[in-house]
Structure 1
């Protein structure tokens, strides 16, 4: 990177959660995620095998996502997991830190707070799918899920199309006002609806839940809809009817994760779609494969979340913090 020699002389940079929130915007995250998806499709960026374990304490899941992006010269890992009891401690349930290394030497480069960046990069991923796959005239955005992550999703999505309305369904209705407040801030009419009504109205649907059962029936989705399934990232999780993947043209961030822990796992396991029928979105970004082919086609993006997304946004955050004098430094 352009500043690496100068910054390495100062030692290891540390970029806090607070600084990440100040300097890392949606535009920067979108560009970083789009670029790394393109690199993955060219096989110049590689995700290493994911490690994820229940640690047998505090009901926590803990693990590592890592990889190397040769195009961006970014090497590192995200370490962290899910602590369900954190909400009682006024802490975010998801806790993570991104650790970046110098690809030329293996030396530690940066420690970057990963909580805010995880939310931003996940929202950027669905936004990239909307930019490349949704109909240009999409007017109604459907949100399935109204938790913490949904507000990031909404803000990123509305920058990709001229939406005129937001409709929402959530398993816990008491959370919906949080998302409604963001829509109001964005100047968009907002309506809480049934799942069937959401399918009937929405031109773009984002599912962002932790469900282990299909919340959206295949028959509820109208022709021309784009669906971004962003919540399924573990074996057993599911947000939409597996049959929907037979009616849709399916795209993903990474094939291996899509068929094993992503939304496509169920349709593939049932033998109703094949791995060869799923297209990495990086191929669409690179122009190697077509995206949407008609205004009546249903498109579905299986956003499983990959370590390279975390490394991409953390690398940009570190560069920005170092350039703006907002990083701190230490020597090992």
Structure 2
């Protein structure tokens, strides 16, 4: 078995490699060459933690495995650790033997950012110039760096429930040489692309905060009850997702469906746009929304890539298991 520790990931995985892996796996999912297993995600009754498993099988890439982990909200304060903790396990699809164990914390951030970045590439207007960020936590910095590579953004505006955290994303914009402005949520109407990356259980971004022609990437809702945007917004938008089954059960679409605003067939796979089987955006005034629920195949795709890189560079640890 090969082991790629968390400490090695930063020097191995690039945003470009993550983007390529995620774009390919979304396409494979839409073509039926890859599928995800049902998600297990539970409150464990200890440390307010959410813990679970996401897995799947990509026939095209022969990638089989799962990610185990979750969200420990007290980690940063109590232990100086990030709140999201995870590990990816890969298996040989021919024999079932364990193939690799890979640190999943940074990979989770990179694959989540890559997913919204892929959605921007395929759904946002080409002339998008203002990027709006709703959320300014650890994940938001990854989202912002990846998004800035997809369009020639001239300005970034940001809002966070705790405004003292906004310097996290302002620092990224300074590094990129793009002006930043802290705003109230109604000012998000200025944005051409909006990324929402929070862990909220009540909507922050409302339908009237979004202008015609905007692309919205909702990246924080991955559990029953979570909600980042008003359900009415999905009724105004062309809705896309990584996987429809997750979108309607644990993603943003769960609320719009529960309120009778949309039905399951209104939600399309982003992979179908990548493959050319769906037109994607059809007008400059159309609102597009990507419901990024986070699927196991994303984790497996980036983990498999990082294992290949670790072997190539001779830094993968090998143990007899």
Please give the TM-score of this superposition, normalised by the length of structure 1.
0.95
Q: Which residue, 248, 254, 265 being the options, matches 2:243? A: 254
Q: Which residue, 287, 294, 314 being the options, matches 1:305? A: 294
For 1:215, the equivalent position in structure 2 comes to 204
Where does the alignment leave 5 or more consecutive residues of structure 1 unmatched? 1-11
1:304 is paired with a residue of what secondary structure?
coil
For 1:147, the equivalent position in structure 2 comes to 137
2:132–2:191 CA contact under 8 A, matched in 1: yes
1:243 is paired with a residue of what secondary structure?
helix
Report the Cα distance in structure 1 between the residues aligned to 2:205 and 2:65, rounded to whole angstroms. 36
Q: Which residue, 88, 91, 98 being the options, matches 2:88? A: 98
Q: Following superposition of structure 1 onto structure 2, how do residues 1-332 of structure 1 map, counting pairs within 5 Å?
A: 12-87=1-76, 88-198=78-188, 200-332=189-321
1:271 positional shift = 1.0
1:59 positional shift = 2.2
1:242 positional shift = 0.7
Report the Cα distance in structure 1 between the residues aligned to 2:256 and 2:47, rounded to whole angstroms. 33
1:276 is paired with a residue of what secondary structure?
helix
CA offset digits 1:55-76 (Å, max 9, x no partner) = 2222222111110000111000
Where does the alignment leave 5 or more consecutive residues of structure 2 unmatched? none
1:84 is paired with a residue of what secondary structure?
coil
Report the Cα distance in structure 2 between the residues aligned to 1:215 and 1:25, rounded to whole angstroms. 31
Range that drifts further, 306-315 or 217-226? 217-226
2:22–2:298 CA contact under 8 A, matched in 1: yes
Range that drifts further, 124-133 or 241-250? 241-250
For 1:9, the equivalent position in structure 2 comes to none
Runs of 4+ off more than 6 Å: none
Report the Cα distance in structure 1 between the residues aligned to 2:114 and 2:231, rounded to whole angstroms. 25
CA RMSD of aligned residues (A): 0.8
